[in-house]
Structure 1
């Protein structure tokens, strides 16, 4: 339980979860605006680092986690030095 305790401190706990996950078919500026709004919440989060590390460790495929979008996490994980550390 202590391993996940950090999640109770997340700034996103009281936020609309739909802000962090794009709806089917969302594209372009609408998707960017939604993701930026989610990242703004992440920027205030006291456990941003823990969230980011967890999302990279488990290769979270969807949503904004730890202030990173799906594409940003994929780019980080695609780096050779990160791939070794994330495995």
Structure 2
């Protein structure tokens, strides 16, 4: 696998009960993702975060930081912020973040 694409981009859509939203995962979800990452030989997972509407930059930044710390704890080192279908995408607060 020296040549080619070695990235898997995972960007789940938000739903009310989606385990992969901006909320922190529970212990079982952390274990499952740790297991998934350990089996992903020569593939880097890029995790898409969907912060949604930003009311308060500091609160949103803290939420994102906590989620990134959790992703790093299971071995996910790459991420993207997905604003593509967020209401009010492209707001000044989102650009500042």
Task: Compute the TM-score of the two structures, normalised by the length of structure 1.
Answer: 0.34
Structure with more relative contact order (C-alpha pairs < 8 Å, separation 6 or more): 2
Task: Compute the TM-score of the two structures, normalised by the length of structure 2.
Answer: 0.32
Structure with larger Rg: 2
